[in-house]
């Protein structure tokens, strides 16, 4: 695989997903560029998490094609790492031990010393240089999520999949984590695919927002954001206009979803 920066690192082509009688995706297509920060935005239940599960080979599509670095998910899954809404740490391992765990599974051949050096460097990058020996129960919600980010980075993935990673945090921590993830993304040059249902979050983070429709889900709209970061939505005319547009699209989606359930 080349290092061409314009190359698509992931692609969905006419993907169909069905659970029993219910069609979740009815031909979903989109691409992700190498190095991009893509936010996937959409109403609850439209299949945002499903798209990450397909990429991670945790779920198989009934039709169409999902590709990661040009490979089907069963061969491309090891180019990815996940950060979930809850950090899913092992309680009996320290922060350092948790980061090491993922590496022990994927990099059997590396020496213990090499793995530890990487884990320490990454915990340092996420701001936990003084908390490496703490157990998850001793860490705050934001700190636990930092461990999960370091763990994801530790397997040196090309793509980081984030599924509403900050939605369980308090407001201040959430804002702090958003600027942190931008710093880490710039520093590591990874591709980030970030699922959220928060319009503001998508607007401050993304290079591009992919808005999904209600089920059966299609890509409804793509919004390109080229404003420099850090972004202040209220003080930017273009961001405020994009926000109004997204909110009105969202309202329409919610109304049609309500009608369908009546």
Ligand X SMILES: Nc1ncnc2c1ncn2[C@@H]1O[C@H](COP(=O)(O)OP(=O)(O)OP(=O)(O)O)[C@@H](O)[C@H]1O
> Contact residues for Mg ion (CB under 5 A)?
49
For 162, phi and psi rounded to 5 degrees? -120, 120
Nearer to ligand X, 24 or 99 (CB): 24
Alpha carbon 55 to its chain centroid, in Å, reads 11
Site for ligand X in 165-224 (CB under 6 A): 197
* Under 8 Å between Cβ of 227 and 236: yes
* Spatial distance between the Cα atoms of 185 and 5, rounded to a whole number of angstroms: 15
User: Is residue 56 within the footprint of ligand X (CB under 6 A)?
Assistant: no
Kind of pairing, strands 8-19 and 63-68?
antiparallel
Residue 201 neighbours by CB under 8 Å, 6+ apart: 39, 166, 174, 178
CB of 10 to ligand X, least distance (A): 16
Nearer to ligand X, 19 or 92 (CB): 19
User: Is residue 46 within the footprint of ligand X (CB under 6 A)?
Assistant: yes
Partner that binds at residue 139, options Mg ion, ligand X, none, CB closer than 5 to 8 Å by kind: none
CB of 171 to ligand X, least distance (A): 19
CB of 145 to Mg ion, least distance (A): 16
**Which of helix, strand or coil describes residue 83?**
strand
Nearer to ligand X, 42 or 136 (CB): 42
Binding site for ligand X (CB under 6 A): 19, 24, 42, 44-50, 197
């Amino acid at each position: 695989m080349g290092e061409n920066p314009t190359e698509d690192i992931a692609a969905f082509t006419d993907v169909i997903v069905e659970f029993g009688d219910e069609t979740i995706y009815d031909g979903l297509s989109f691409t992700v560029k190498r190095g991009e920060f893509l936010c996937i935005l959409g109403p609850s239940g439209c299949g945002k998490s499903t798209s990450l599960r397909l990429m991670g080979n945790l779920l198989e599509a009934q039709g169409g094609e999902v590709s990661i670095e040009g490979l089907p998910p069963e061969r491309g899954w090891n180019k990815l790492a996940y950060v979930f809404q809850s950090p899913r740490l092992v309680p009996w391992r320290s922060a350092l031990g948790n980061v090491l765990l993922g590496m022990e599974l994927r990099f059997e051949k590396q020496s213990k010393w090499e793995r530890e050096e990487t884990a320490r460097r990454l915990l340092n990058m996420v701001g936990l240089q003084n908390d490496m020996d703490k157990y998850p129960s001793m860490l705050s919600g934001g700190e636990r999520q930092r461990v999960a980010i370091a763990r994801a980075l530790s397997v040196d993935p090309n793509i980081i999949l984030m599924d509403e990673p900050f939605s369980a945090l308090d407001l201040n921590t959430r804002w702090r984590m958003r600027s942190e993830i931008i710093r880490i993304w710039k520093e590591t040059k990874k591709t980030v695919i970030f699922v959220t249902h928060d319009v503001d979050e998508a607007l401050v983070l993304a290079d591009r927002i992919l808005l999904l429709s209600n089920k059966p889900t299609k890509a409804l709209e793509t919004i390109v954001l080229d404003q420099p970061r850090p972004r202040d939505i209220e003080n930017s005319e273009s961001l405020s206009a994009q926000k109004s547009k997204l909110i009105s699209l969202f309202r329409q989606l919610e109304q049609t979803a309500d009608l369908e359930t009546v």
